[in-house]
Amino acid sequence: MADASSSTQELASKEPKPPSAGPLLEVSGIVKSFGRTKVIAGVSFHVAAGEFLTLLGPSGCGKTTTLRIIAGFEQADKGRVFLKGEDVTTRPPYLRDVHTVFQHYALFPHYNVFDNVAFGLRIQKLPKRQIKTRVTEVLDLVKLSGYEKRRTTEMSGGQMQRIALARALAGRPSLLLLDEPLGALDLKLRREMQLELKAIQRRLGIAFIYVTHDQDEAMAMSDRIVVFHHGRIEQIGTPSEVYRKPKTSFVADFMGSANILSGRLIGFKDGCVRIRLEDEVEVEFPYADPLPVAQGQALCVAIRPERISVRYEGDLPLRGSCVSLPAILADTVSLGDETQMFLAFFKNSTKTVLSATMEARHQNERRDGTPVWADIRWRDILLLEPEGE
Amino acid sequence: MKRRPTAPRRKKAPQRGGLWGATEKLSRLRKTNGLLAYCLGLYGFLYLPLAVMVAFSFNGARRNVVWTGFTFKWYASLFHNAEMARAMATTLEIAVAASVMAAAMGMLAAYAMTRHAPFRGRGLYAALLNAPLMMPEIVMGVGLLSFFSRVGLPLNFWSLACAHALIALPYTTGSIRARLLSLKDSNLEDAAMDLGATEWQAFRQITLPLARPAIISGALLAFTVSFEDFVTTFFIAGIGIVTMPIKVYSMMKFGVTPEVNALASCLLVLTIIALTINRTLVKETKS
């Protein structure tokens, strides 16, 4: 903060935050239906001051509606929203200290860049001079100084996104909502903007709630991720928690990819679990974490493709702390640097397991049907609750 | 390089037709000629009478049969005719009053249809608002006349203006509604309220300015509807209120004089101007 420019320091030193113990925003038990479709079925989470929280999920999972309820554009059927400890559930959007960056920018086409950014400040009736300095500051922050007089309709997508961001930041909200703000940009620009957004968020210390369906984006930017699925929260955690310790098979598969196998917990003794995979193959390995189900019950087993290492007859096995399973090589696909191998473990099922590797030696293709060994470290076998419905 | 000589021959080939090519050409020619003749006939039927009318408004002779020379005298006598001037003024005043009313009510109706939370019977509400478009004007005329006389409202300038506004309402509502729908999709009002604007401020500063082209174009349509309305006006215009179409009708009782031609030509020009403005506004909204 010491070397930050004066303008950002000014922006960051918003009104002194009251030393409230509670979270900045709390959403509790939100339910929302449109007609007969239930879009959100009981969602609760909180956001701390200065936190970057991502709502992640496939399209139609309720994340955007949740955002619109926080902003005040929609009213929840059930549940409450607290902002700085105050109940704002029924408050209209203009009485909430929250600003939104919309997916399609929603810039006012009849205003130029300056007037767009100044809109909220003029509504607040700030003195003219103050409006001018604030607009200059935020335009500087998003690297668009000198564009004040331009019409927004003649700017590129990336520039419009920056103006939308500047407009939302100009009012110095304590919480910024971003609804897939980079969705309309091409990949390269998106990566650039991700870094920039994250940097701006850190510098200003404003809490962000960021909605996206792109798990890479979520991993790259967030302090914590809320994974949505069918209007419910599947898991809340830091990016590495969500990636390494997914709670459900949906999370395991959505965050990166995973082989999801059905299994049954048939034994647990001395910290060692015994699992029957796909009703056929039995494996036994030590497992330290709490078990998701009781003995004898069905569960899901998730293994990430990049965590399965394949060796051929005669190769040295992976040293210790892993299970080794015999398999048949079903297919090999080369994706440039990465090689994907499909392994058949089971006789009764046609289900194959994917292994992905960057190792060059797998690139000289073996014939399909070659017997191989698959080595999987104990800690890479994730035991999850069985899939609902 | 060696292939070059073959190129021109290939080009020529399709032109040598023989018998087959000739019949094909003929049938194609017949097809296009038939289409051309149909179009000429249709457009001639549409626009030739207008052209003749405009032409004869400049004709020196009193009768509409022979061309005796170019003159502006019918226009001059038209503009010096006090009765005519009064009819023109009345028509314009009524059209302005009616289009302003129709635009204001259309804005409210369109806002309700697009912004109000869904309510029971919203479809019926919209359909009933559009009904005057489909309803025979005679029905409107008779209905309004009996309504006005039952309730005891005087048949004067304002009752006529209100009736015209009613007929024109579907046009303004439709035009504004389309614009408000597209504005809604772009989340602009949400954005304004998100930045602290109340619903009214968002309406004044965002919705209204952006809907303005649609409001004006709707009002222009309403203006032409009122301006040229004959049937309803004929039924409910009180004594002493003579609009242009009524005046033309009464003049026609004595045959189609060059003054009528001149007058109709003036109305034609006015209509074209109004429609052109309307078109440009619609284009502007779309961009």
Q: What is the pLDDT of residues A139-162, one digit of tens each?
A: 999 999 889 999 988 888 889 999
Write the DSSP symbol of residue A13. S
In chain A, the residue whose alpha carbon lies closest to the alpha carbon of B191 is A106
Q: Which of A92, A109, A124 sits opposite B193 (nearest CB)?
A: A92
Q: Are residues B26 and B101 in the same domain?
A: no
Residue A388 pLDDT: 60
Q: Are residues B26 and B154 in the same domain?
A: no
Residue B240 pLDDT: 77
Task: Determine the angle formed by the axes of helices B82-115 and B244-252, rounding to 10 degrees.
Answer: 140
Q: What is the pLDDT of residues B231-268, one digit of tens each?
A: 889 888 877 788 888 888 888 787 777 888 888 888 88
Q: Which of B187, B206, B210 sits opposite A104 (nearest CB)?
A: B187
Write the DSSP symbol of residue A150. S
Residue A6 pLDDT: 45
Percent of chain A with pLDDT over 90: 44
Percent of chain A with pLDDT over 70: 94
Question: Which of the pair, A1 or A129, is modelled with greater confidence?
Answer: A129
In this predicted structure, the answer to whether residue A233 has a pLDDT above a threshold of 80 is: yes
Count of domains for chain B = 2
Residue A170 pLDDT: 93
Q: How confident is the model at residue A365 (pLDDT cuts 50, 70, 90)?
A: low
CATH topology of domain A258-384: OB fold (Dihydrolipoamide Acetyltransferase, E2P) (2.40.50)
User: Does residue B67 fall inside a structural domain?
Assistant: no
User: Does residue B123 fall inside a structural domain?
Assistant: yes
Residue A182: other Cβ atoms inside 10 A: 25
- Chain A residue numbers with beta carbons less than 8 Å from the beta carbon of B192 are 108, 119
User: Does residue B61 fall inside a structural domain?
Assistant: no
Q: Are residues B106 and B165 in the same domain?
A: yes
- Chain B residue numbers with beta carbons less than 8 Å from the beta carbon of A171 are 195-196
Q: Are residues B25 and B101 in the same domain?
A: no
- Please report the DSSP string for A253-276 in residue order: HHSS--EEEEEEEEEEETTEEEEE
Residue B99 C-alpha, separation from nearest chain A C-alpha, in angstroms:
25
CATH classification at residue B255: 1.10.3720.10
- Owning domain of residue B27: 18-56
User: Does residue B221 fall inside a structural domain?
Assistant: yes
Residue B285 pLDDT: 66
Q: Are residues B23 and B132 in the same domain?
A: no
In 3D, which of B175, B188, B38 has the Cα closest to residue B109? B175
Partners of A101 in beta bridges: A178
User: Does residue B11 fall inside a structural domain?
Assistant: no
User: Does residue B79 fall inside a structural domain?
Assistant: yes
Q: Which of A102, A107, A171 sits opposite B196 (nearest CB)?
A: A171
In this predicted structure, the answer to whether residue A7 has a pLDDT above a threshold of 90 is: no
Domain ranges, ordered by start, for chain A: 6-97+173-249, 258-384
pLDDT tens for chain B, residues 1 to 287: 444 444 444 444 455 556 666 777 777 777 788 889 999 999 999 999 889 888 888 888 777 677 788 888 888 888 888 888 888 889 999 999 999 999 999 999 999 888 887 778 888 888 888 888 888 888 988 998 899 889 888 888 888 999 999 999 999 999 999 999 988 888 999 999 999 999 999 999 999 999 999 999 999 989 989 988 888 898 888 777 888 888 888 887 877 778 888 888 888 888 888 888 888 887 776 65
Q: Are residues B38 and B120 in the same domain?
A: no
Check B195 against A119: CB less than 8 A apart: yes
Q: Are residues B26 and B104 in the same domain?
A: no
Tokens of B138: 């005679």
The answer as to CATH 3.60.110.10 being correct for domain A6-97+173-249 is: no
Q: What is the pLDDT of residues B212-241, one digit of tens each?
A: 999 999 999 899 899 888 888 988 887 778
User: Does residue B26 fall inside a structural domain?
Assistant: yes
Does residue A16 belong to the interface with chain B, where contact is any CB pair within 8 Å?
A: no
In 3D, which of B141, B132, B215, B128 has the Cα closest to residue B166? B132
Q: Are residues B48 and B173 in the same domain?
A: no
Q: Are residues B30 and B105 in the same domain?
A: no
Residue B5 pLDDT: 44
Q: State the average pLDDT over residues A197-210.
A: 93
Q: Let me know: does A353 contact A257? Beta carbons within 8 Å.
A: no
Residue A28 pLDDT: 92
Kindly report the CA angle at A20 between A19 and A24, in degrees rounded to 5? 120
In this predicted structure, the answer to whether residue A59 has a pLDDT above a threshold of 80 is: yes
Q: How confident is the model at residue A132 (pLDDT cuts 50, 70, 90)?
A: very high
CA distances from B32 to A77, A381, B26, B37, B44 (A): 65, 75, 10, 8, 18
Q: Are residues B149 and B276 in the same domain?
A: yes
Strands A98-101 and A175-179: parallel
User: Does residue B166 fall inside a structural domain?
Assistant: yes
Q: Are residues B105 and B32 in the same domain?
A: no
Residue B17 pLDDT: 54
* Average pLDDT of every residue of chain A: 87
What lies within 8 Å, CB to CB, of A215 at 6+ separation is A56, A254, A255, A256
Candidate from A3-17, A26-40, A335-349, B185-199 with smallest mean pLDDT: A3-17
- What's the rounded Cα separation, in Å, for the pair B87 and B84? 5
Could you tell me how many helices (H) and strands (E) chain A has, helices first? Answer: 9, 20
- Chain A residue numbers with beta carbons less than 8 Å from the beta carbon of B190 are 71, 73, 93, 100, 102, 106
Tokens of B224: 């032409």
Q: Are residues B227 and B259 in the same domain?
A: yes
